[in-house]
Amino acid sequence: MANDRPRVLSGIQPTSGSFHIGNYLGAVRQWVALQETHDAFYMVVDLHALTLPQDPKELRENTRLAAAQLLAAGLDPEHCTIFVQSHVPEHTQLTWLMECLTGFGEASRMTQFKDKAARQGNEHTSVGLFTYPMLMVSDILIYQADQVPVGEDQRQHIELARNLAERFNGRYGKTFTVPEPYILRETAKIFDLQEPTVKMSKSASSPKGIIDLLDDPKASAKKIKSAVTDTGSEIRFDRENKPGVSNLLTIHATLTDSTIAEVEQKYAGKGYGALKTDLAEIVSEWAAPFRDRTREFLDDPETLDSILAKGAEKARAVATETLTQAYDKVGLLPGKH
Ligand code: ATP
Ligand code: LTN
């Protein structure tokens, strides 16, 4: 892994037992590709998961499960650094500097916070949910990441990372790389099967709206077959007028490495039923080996934990260096951090 490669970094929350197809197509698939060309750091962001209530036993299980799924999806510890966020305490240490650099109004404008807070009500919303973006900014800046592969919903947080990096550099001298979002237009937002105008989400979608990668294939097939489609019967990509069909076409095209036009052509003159039946088959064929590999990693917790320990060690070496520089720049007295 040559170190002159541009660096990428990203994270995924261990907030449910299974990744959904939006996580995979919007983010993890790009992570797998980028590990070949970039110096790649990927983590399970367990501290971010704590911004919503978590059962301790489930959180621990879901963290291992998330790491196992990342490996099953094709991340290779020989080609990237894979670790758990809380194993690198420097992230939270840098977060304090980022929080002190962020305006209260600026943080109040984060749409993900506003949406989640509105859903829960003020009394049930933690301060951690409010400061979540500054932890994410620290995750990114502490590795001097050039690019951040995520889905569209994370764009505003990356914009904040850019602003804070520039602000810090302007105030204290060049310290942080200003990161770019890496968001693929076609798969940036996979939609809920039942509500094809809102994103498929671990925490917000109903079970019928989500394709979970570890689901029983029959359950996924049933969900795909009862996905909301649009009036008319023509299979055509049209986000505005045919959001349901467009979403299915996107998933189909990406999993089969085809263009949308090729898939449209394949189904010309056929009905929605044919598209759904085939898509159920495609998803099931993709997910079967993924499920088996995830199970293998879970059945060998020693190997899994050792991969994560090595990853954390590599990550910490980079994180400590950046943190020391940043602490020094703001005028903290050198000592043992
Ligand atoms: P939640 O909705 O509960 O916050 P999530 O489903 O968005 O959870 P995360 O762990 O927050 O899951 O996201 C992991 C990655 O998957 C992020 O890069 C995110 O942008 C991406 N992602 C999540 N949902 C989608 C989606 N529907 N389409 C495309 N990318 C997505
Ligand atoms: N907030 C992101 C997860 C996340 C992340 C990061 C993504 C935490 N830290 C750093 C990219 C880079 C989410 O909810 N999907």
pLDDT tens string 253-298 = 999 999 999 999 999 999 999 999 999 999 999 999 999 999 999 9
> 231 alpha carbon to ligand 1 midpoint, in Å?
28
pLDDT of residue 204: 75
Using N-to-C axis directions, what is the helix angle for 127-141 and 155-172, rounded to 10°? 70
Residues in contact with ligand 2 (CB, 6 Å cut-off):
9-11, 13, 45, 48, 136, 139-140, 148, 150, 154, 157
Catalytic residue of the set 57, 114, 116, 218: 116
| 131 vs 230 pLDDT, higher one | 131
314 catalytic residue (yes or no):
no
pLDDT of residue 336: 65
| 217 vs 308 pLDDT, higher one | 308
> What CA–CA distance (Å, rounded) separates 328 from 271?
64
> 11 alpha carbon to ligand 2 midpoint, in Å?
5
pLDDT tens string 39-83 = 999 999 999 999 999 999 999 999 999 999 999 999 999 999 999
> What CA–CA distance (Å, rounded) separates 296 from 273?
35
Q: Does position 207 have pLDDT exceeding 90, yes or no?
A: yes
pLDDT of residue 203: 77
What residues pair up with 199 in beta bridges, in sequence order?
A: 191
Confidence of residue 1 (pLDDT cuts 50, 70, 90): very low
> 12 alpha carbon to ligand 2 midpoint, in Å?
6
Residue with tokens 């979970």: 212
pLDDT of residue 205: 79
Residue nearest to atom 4 of ligand 2 (CA): 11
> 166 alpha carbon to ligand 1 midpoint, in Å?
26
Ligand 1 contact, 85 CB (< 6 A): no
Catalytic residue of the set 202, 223, 242, 276: 202
pLDDT tens string 188-202 = 999 999 999 999 998
> What CA–CA distance (Å, rounded) separates 63 from 298?
11
> Full-prediction pTM beyond 0.85?
yes
State the DSSP code for 198: S
pLDDT of residue 202: 85
